[in-house]
Amino acid sequence: MAVGLSAIPPLLPVNGIRVGACSAGIYKNQRLDLAVITCENGSKSAAVFTRNAFCAAPVIIARDHIQKTSPSYCLINAGNANAGMGMKGYEDAMRVCHHLSQLAGCPVEAVLPFSTGVIGQPLPVDNICRVLPELIDSVSENAWNDVANAIITTDTLPKGISRQISIANQQTTITGVAKGSGMIRPDMATMLAFIATDADIDRQVLNKMLLESVEQSFHRISVDGDTSTNDACVLIATGKSTAPYIDSFDSDFAVQFRNALTEICVYLAQAIVRDGEGATKFVTINIRGGKTEEECRNVAYAIAHSPLIKTALFASDPNWGRILAAIGRSGIERLDVSKIMIYIDDVCIVENGSRSGKYTESLGKSVMGRDEIILYVDLNRGNATISFWTCDLSYEYVRINAEYRT
């Protein structure tokens, strides 16, 4: 069961966005597995995609299409990644895009395809095309929760959040949904996420805002250190709010919106970790005292990606020697280990590079037994800091991934 994560409340509609979901029969057991997000003319979009060199066909197409025009449709299927299929995968994804564009009367470049699920299986194009007319006819402003349910795979819960902020006394709405549970590590945005707002924002500013928010959220999570072939994060601004136009990255209005957007992204990123496949612990890693943010990030990566640390977390075992080993192999040049301090919550386990005189095994075990843990590492070599989020590695993770295709 997801750690500290509950069912999402009804998500708020976004003026200028209509959404819908249906079953295309991609799964053996009928469930919502196909979703669409439609954008009114004049909407602006930004997106980031996986850096995995073996990226899926829909990633290649969506990345190309968004460079050519503002998208009118995001079409997302679950249950099939359409990855590792070579030219056939590309042709199949384009067939779906062409079919939707003909139904909607828009250029094919205005359709962005997204897929998630099993790699190496042919996309069921006929199934998807057969239900597209029904799906397009059914869209509404109020079906965001259906979209959140349709895009999940091994997730135990859908993930979504809405926020409303006041900009110059005018209400602006932001709604976002995401999917992700396994095959999660920071190398873009390591999942699928779709965020929409009615704010009116310059396209270049919108892109810069998304990159900043992704860096502070989706780039700072890891479930298993495995980067997907299909990751994407899309931000759509319809401009339908009466709030002032945002044409500068650093204006007061822009800062208000950026803070809210980052809050949305951080929530969704943390929700993915909380729902990590078989996760029983949600762990915040705070690294401070680095010379640069990059070396803080490298330390966080080393800790979050260590199977030995993650299994110790699952066992509630305060085996802090594994943390020392991870920090030591993180690649920091001329690291003075005698200055390092490590805390688990409020328990000091390492002081000046060695076991704290105040530490006892019983104290360590008591904090390691909590569902939510904060690990503090102070490198004491600079002023850089970073926060990172991860989870433990349990028997259930192995079972889920061993049985994924069966």
CB-based contacts of 79: which residues, under 8 Å, 6+ apart?
A: 26, 27, 33, 116, 117, 118, 153
Annotated catalytic residue within 173, 175, 190, 197: 190
DSSP 293-358: HHHHHHHHHHHHT-HHHHHHHHTT---THHHHHHHHTS--TT--GGG-EEEETTEEEEETTEE-TT
Count of C-beta atoms within a 10 Å radius of residue 329: 12
Residue 50 known to be catalytic: no
Q: Radius of gyration of the chain from Cα atoms?
A: 22
Residue 344, amino acid: I
How does DSSP assign 76-118, residue by residue? Answer: EEEEE---S-HHHHHHHHHHHHHHHHHHHTS-GGGEEEEEEEE
d(CA 45, CA 136): 20
- Tokens 């401009």 appear where? 239
Candidates 32, 97, 301, 331; CA nearest to 190 is: 301
Q: Return the closest-CA partner of residue 276 out of 377, 390, 172.
A: 390
CA distance 80 to 381: 47
Residue with tokens 């009615």: 198
The residues annotated with a catalytic role in the active site are 190
